[in-house]
Structure 1
Amino acid sequence: MTTRVTGDPADNRPGPARAGLFVYAKDVERLSAFYVDLLDMTRAHATPQMTVLRSPDLQLIVHAMPPERAVQVTVATPPVPRDDAAIKFFHAVPSLAQAAETAAALGGAVWSEQYRGPGFVVCNAVDPEGNIFQVREYAPA
């Protein structure tokens, strides 16, 4: 017997998400606003320490860094990519060109180099705090 897990944003039922990503932020509000606008996410829940964002494809929790870590982190403009992370996520966008414009306006960047995969084109990107991720535009093979 299969048990249905609720909380899927696509069916708008309450409950826990089936999958997601957790990212630490020095400025929770700024980073949350970046992902809301860039990835067309909605705010599901917020406290002073974290914001839970949702899209039909992903739940993203933006959580404040512990204070002792936050004082060690410098956020530069433009952001300095933090390429020492062991994981990066990807998210689909309707247009890589529009994503690049939006990211730049919000303090991040979508890099111009593109990679083609089966049914999509992808670019690496960086958020205002230097976290590297990818944006993907669906493209016929």
Structure 2
Amino acid sequence: MSEPKALFGAVIFAKDLQRLARFYEQVIGLSRQQEAADHVLLAGSGFELVIHAIPARIAADIVITTPPERRSETPIKLFFNIASLQVARESAQRLGGDIVADEQGWLIRGARVCDGLDPEGNVLQLRQHLA
């Protein structure tokens, strides 16, 4: 069953389309709705995330290190509400990303908040709402 059309969304450009799609699918809990050679559409809770392949001629000049170098000079950081920071952290590390330890995070509006990186170095923020 497919998700209803989203009201909000974002696009992330990726050197490794499938790797980045798996990361957001498994760490954030989004589900694949559509897939083509140049993109994967993930969705959940009224939000769509399009992972779009960087054209090969441009991607050839991009180096992704292990661990990924933080791309902190971009003016946008996406945040996602998740059920468990610990589960997300374990999944992120297994998939080539990272989520900082709870002690490095902070509390905001009833949620524990931690920043992290996806496998290509894009900075993201995860929020686990506390009971």
Asked if TM exceeds 0.5, the reply is yes
Kindly report which structure 2 residues correspond to 1:69-108, keeping only aligned pairs within 5 A, or say none. Answer: 69-108=58-97
1:58 equivalent among 33, 43, 47: 47
1:1-141 equivalent positions in 2, closer than 5 A: 12-13=3-4, 16-112=5-101, 113-140=104-131
Distance (Å, rounded) in 2 between the aligned partners of 1:44 and 1:68: 27
Rounded Cα–Cα distance in structure 2 between residues aligned with 1:103 and 1:57 = 23
- What CA deviation, in whole Å up to 9, does each residue of 1:23-74 have, x standing for no partner? 0000110100111111111101010000000011421000011233212211
Letter in 1 for 2:109: P
Compute the RMSD of aligned alpha carbons: 1.4
TM-score (norm 2): 0.91
Give the fraction of aligned pairs with identical amino acids, expressed as a percent. 32
Aligned length: 128
Q: Does the CA-based 8 Å contact 2:6-2:46 persist in structure 1?
A: no
Checking the alignment, whether the CA contact within 8 Å between 2:113 and 2:126 is kept in structure 1 is yes
Deviation larger for 88-97 or 61-70: 61-70
- Please state whether the residue corresponding to 2:77 is helix, strand or coil: coil
Cα distance in 2 for partners of 1:67, 1:101 equals 31
Shift of 1:111: 1.1
TM normalised by structure 1 equals 0.85
Structure showing greater Rg: 1
Contact 2:41 2:51 in 1 (8 A): yes
